[in-house]
Amino acid sequence: MQDKSFLNMDKERILKDFDHLSKAKKQSATALKLCLIFSVVVVLLVLLWGFAVSQTALSKVVILSKSGEYLQTEAVSTEALFSARIQSTCNFATSYANSFDRQSIKMNQAKAQFYVNRNDLNAIFQKYFNDRAYSDATNTGAVYNCNLEKIERIEGDNEPYKVSFTSLLNVYSGGKVWRFRLHCDGEIISTTPRYPENVTGFMFSRLVQRTEQLPTEQESQSNGSAEENQDYIG
């Protein structure tokens, strides 16, 4: 009788343990389902948030320096970025093509090839060669320094974009400074950006420049003094 009673108690305990195990499995399955549902909901929310952010920022960019620092706190529109890229392309092209000294002639000529087509660039180089500018830079230490002055025109919704701009060229030689204004007209097309060779993704498919000699600083001061004296006498 005791053995039979013991067996009954053992059977009841086994059934009770099995019942607990079954409930634990059901609870685990329920918890797993809840976790999966929660994960799916989180993923969907993240995707929706990312989509909303991308749509909001689709036409805006943030400018960073090479070191990763923000150059400005506000985002700029694609139109402003486009204008900045065009302006930078004009500046790089005119600067590399027209700036040189005895040490930087070959280097700047090579850099200019990434921003200006070969035929127009060779025409610019040939003019400096014919005018003995490269010879003066090499033999007498003359320095040619050219920088963008202003953009006068940007036209076109599609390539090529037509641009007109002016640059200022200063020639330092023999203790004197000669000043010139370059009137430039050209057409710009897209190209593959290459750092550091071409950082704007644009280049000139056509570039023509016309040189206008400006009064020297001494001449400007003399003219200014003469006008003042004339006004005083009158």
168, 180 in Cβ contact below 8 A? yes
Residues 96 and 26 both lie in one domain: no
What pTM was estimated for this model as a whole?
A: 0.64
Q: Are residues 36 and 90 in the same domain?
A: no
Same domain, 107 and 2: no
Same domain, 48 and 106: no
pLDDT for the residue 48: 76
Residue 14 to residue 18: CA distance in whole angstroms: 6
Please report which confidence band the pLDDT of residue 18 belongs to, taking 50, 70 and 90 as the band edges: low
3-state secondary structure of 49: helix
Q: E strands of 126-225, at which residues?
A: 143-155, 161-173, 176-190, 202-214
Q: Domain count for the chain, please give it.
A: 2
Question: Would you say residue 210 lies in a domain?
Answer: yes
Residue 228's pLDDT band, with cuts at 50, 70 and 90, is very low
Report helix angle 105-112 to 78-98, nearest 10: 140
Domain range spanning residue 173? 76-221
Q: Residue 173 domain-assigned?
A: yes
**Segments in 57-117 forming alpha helices (H):** 78-98, 105-112
| Percent of the chain whose pLDDT exceeds 70 | 68
**pLDDT score for 68:** 45
**Amino acid identity, residue 228?**
E
Tell me whether residue 227 is in a domain.
no
pLDDT tops 90 at residue 6:
no
Residues 106 and 181 in one domain: yes
For the stretch 113-148, pLDDT in tens is 999 999 999 999 999 999 999 999 999 999 999 999
Closest CA to 201 of 188, 220, 218: 188
Q: Are residues 208 and 144 in the same domain?
A: yes
pLDDT, residue 52, reads 64
Residue 113 in domain: yes
Tell me whether residue 183 is in a domain: yes
Alpha carbons within 13 A on the beta-carbon side of 78 = 4
Same domain, residue pair 87 and 123? yes
Model pLDDT, residue 232: 33
pLDDT band at 32 (very low <50, low <70, confident <90, very high): confident
Supply the pLDDT for residue 40.
72
Mark whether 86 and 201 lie in a shared domain.
yes
Q: Is there a domain that residue 226 lies in?
A: no
pLDDT > 80? residue 149: yes
The label of the residue with tokens 């090579």 reads 110
In a domain, 71, yes or no: no
103 and 43, same structural domain? no
In this structure, which amino acid lies at residue 53? V
